[in-house]
A and B are shown apart, each in its own frame.
Chain A
Amino acid sequence: MTNSEKNRLKDKAFQVFGIFCTFIGLVVLAIFLIDIVIEGIGRIDWDFLTSLPSRRAARAGILTAWAGTLWILVLSALIAFPLGIAAGIYLEEYAKKTKLSDFLEINIANLAGVPSIIYGLLGLELFVRFMHLGPVLLVGALTLSLLILPIVIVTTREAIKAVPRTIRDGSFALGASKWQTVWNQVLPASFGGILTGVILALSRAVGEAAPLIVIGALAYVPFVPKTPMDEFTVLPIQIFNWTSRPQAAFLTNAAAAIIVLLLITFLLNGIAVYLRHRQQKKIKW
């Protein structure tokens, strides 16, 4: 075999390996989803969705868990959405290129890399101990809001950055003030992108268990939370609790709860992808 033939063979071999690697992750994902569905789908019925937790696997349901997850989703959105967008607008439209804005930028990048469990320790000391709020929904939502804040800020900035300079210049030329320009031109034009980022961040928050365990959210909550000051559990904590038990029946429950959690996560991601797609099609500068 000549050298060039050898090289061509190696090239082909790597191509096959490349295809293999590209699909191995997806194959694992598929095996895993199929396994979960086979194990858990039979357990999902109206009773499972509407029953309180129980020590007996066959009677246990996820009502309190998914109610808690929905509460957390809505509260985190209400806190992180305005805060993150406001910060993003400031950094992109107002901040001058100074040492301080450089520092803000590095700081946000750093916050995005802090492990979620550290945010749990922050929530535990700051909200539960220092402010005496207890391990309630509001504290869970505040903790997760701080966790996703860097993501919301970064995606807001990217969406705003995509709005061309000419739009702003046109607005200023008509005599609009800075804020009028931001509010009437920049924000509407970038809102689709911002919303996509916020929804992706929320889908991350919905899947988090570790920080909520650290602030003291319980695995066993025998009531549906009525106000943000009630104690709570969420789907990931319920799944963790059931997975940690030795009895096989609880693993079936965990698989069923995972199906519900994945449906929520995929739904949120699906909405985000749809919004991004629509945004890309609609706007042509």
Chain B
Amino acid sequence: MRVQEKIIEGLLWLSAAITILVTVSIIWVLLSESIQFFSEVSILRFLTEKEWTPLFADKKFGIMPLVAGTFLTTAIAIAVALPIGLTIAIYLNEYAHARFKTIIKPLLEVLATIPTVVYGFFALTVVTPFLQSFIPGLAGFNALSAGIVMGVMIIPMISSLSEDAISAVPRSLREAAYGMGSTRLQTAFGVMVPAASSGILVSVILAISRAVGETMIVAIAAGQQPRLTLNPLVPIETITTYIVQVSMGDVPHGSLEYRTIFAAGMTLFVFTFLLNNLSFWIKKKYQEKYD
């Protein structure tokens, strides 16, 4: 009996330990291929060259254009999702009836369950033509419509995490604000939002991390032209799109071109890893402030 218990506990432990194995494998895969890549292309070139053309005859290996493309689409997405998501969170907490909240929250979550390839289709076939009707210089592939659609997708992420943060603020703070004669708006922005600021910040950081790693929307609607620009109207390429682009072609395994996707993947992993851990750190440092 005791032996059986021990075996079961061992098996359960093994299942949990697999998650560490996954992390180690990810880092090993990215590192081993990246190291081989950087033995042929210096890190200095990778970080400072202003063009990314590993698939052309004249090869340039500057990651900056891909980083710029990723930054651009992410910035647009956050510019859409943050004001809308935060306003929803405040509205649901300070203004809406509890019943309205229980109905609307799951509906908003639907936005997050739709496959990203579907959002990509939407960006390319609906949003871009619509924007072109009043932005004459807008190219068929562009960062703007991909970013906007990505922002819509991220709204529930910011709204529901921020809403949790705001509703965790003790009631007494809100009542004190009302007692001083504040309106709901003054209470929200003068008391509740500042008090929940660390939770809101965490939601934004996680949203940024999500947008940086998002693939199919940008692969479909933002183009495949690495370009060091912050112009949202022209085709660009993100890190994720580049990996997809190479995966769809037939680049031979073990070639320098093949390894570029791991160097690009490593860059992406470092960004999201830093963002995620920053959010954990903030959460840990500022949680239970009111307990």
Residues of A within 8 A of B19 (CB): 87, 104, 107-108, 111, 149-150, 153
Residue B236 at the A interface, CB < 8 A? no
Residues of A within 8 A of B15 (CB): 82-84, 86-87, 90
> Are A15 and B121 interface neighbours, CB within 8 A?
no
> Are A94 and B244 interface neighbours, CB within 8 A?
no
A134 to chain B, nearest CB (A): 12
Q: Number of B interface residues at 8 Å Cβ cutoff, please give it.
A: 82
Residue A117 at the B interface, CB < 8 A? yes
Whole-angstrom distance between the alpha carbons of A273 and B88 in the complex?
22
Chain B minimum-CB-distance residue to A211: B215
A232 to chain B, nearest CB (A): 15
Among B38-46, B53-61, B112-120, the stretch in contact with A: B112-120
Q: Looking at chain B's contact residues, is the secondary structure mostly helix, strand, loop, or mixed? A: helix
> Are A32 and B247 interface neighbours, CB within 8 A?
no
Whole-angstrom distance between the alpha carbons of A89 and B20 in the complex?
16
Whole-angstrom distance between the alpha carbons of A122 and B276 in the complex?
19
Chain A minimum-CB-distance residue to B277: A110
Taken residue by residue from 6 to 41, chain A's Cβ proximity to chain B (1 for < 8 Å, 0 otherwise) reads as: 011011001101110110111011011001100100
Whole-angstrom distance between the alpha carbons of A91 and B20 in the complex?
13
Taken residue by residue from 107 to 149, chain A's Cβ proximity to chain B (1 for < 8 Å, 0 otherwise) reads as: 1111101111111111011100100000000000000001001
Chain B minimum-CB-distance residue to A130: B29
Residues of B within 8 A of A106 (CB): 280
Query: A113-B209, A114-B269, A115-B213 are contacts. A83–B220 as well, Cβ < 8 Å?
Result: no
Chain B minimum-CB-distance residue to A15: B95
Residues of B within 8 A of A86 (CB): 11-12, 15-16
B121's partner among A118, A210, A255 (CB-CB below 8 A) is A255
Residues of A within 8 A of B110 (CB): 29, 269
Residues of A within 8 A of B115 (CB): 206-209, 236, 261-262, 265
> Are B265 and A18 interface neighbours, CB within 8 A?
no
Whole-angstrom distance between the alpha carbons of A204 and B83 in the complex?
26
Residue B174 at the A interface, CB < 8 A? no
Among B181-189, B191-199, B227-235, the stretch in contact with A: B181-189
A262's partner among B83, B108, B114, B247 (CB-CB below 8 A) is B114
Query: A18-B90, A22-B104 are contacts. A258–B118 as well, Cβ < 8 Å?
Result: yes
Q: Looking at chain A's contact residues, is the secondary structure mostly helix, strand, loop, or mixed? A: helix
Whole-angstrom distance between the alpha carbons of A10 and B182 in the complex?
12
Residue B170 at the A interface, CB < 8 A? no
Q: Beyond the given A110-B23, A118-B272, A177-B5, could you list 15 further A-B residue pairs with CB under 8 A, ordered by the A residue number? A: A11-B186, A18-B88, A22-B88, A35-B122, A83-B15, A87-B16, A87-B18, A103-B20, A107-B20, A118-B269, A179-B9, A203-B113, A206-B115, A262-B114, A266-B113
Report the 10 A-B pairs with minimum CB-CB distance, sorted nearest first: A115-B213, A207-B115, A18-B91, A86-B15, A90-B12, A113-B276, A210-B215, A11-B183, A87-B16, A21-B87
A–B complex contacts, Cβ < 8 Å, 26 sampled: A7-B185, A11-B184, A18-B96, A19-B91, A21-B88, A25-B88, A29-B114, A32-B122, A86-B16, A90-B9, A90-B13, A109-B276, A114-B269, A115-B215, A117-B243, A118-B272, A124-B247, A177-B5, A204-B113, A206-B115, A208-B115, A210-B216, A210-B219, A240-B219, A243-B121, A261-B115
User: Which A positions have Cβ atoms within 8 angstroms of B?
Assistant: 7-8, 10-11, 14-15, 17-19, 21-22, 24-26, 28-29, 31-32, 35-36, 39, 82-84, 86-87, 89-91, 94-95, 103-104, 106-111, 113-122, 124-126, 129, 146, 149-150, 153, 177-179, 200, 203-204, 206-210, 213-214, 216, 219, 236, 239-240, 243-244, 251, 254-255, 258, 261-262, 265-266, 269, 273
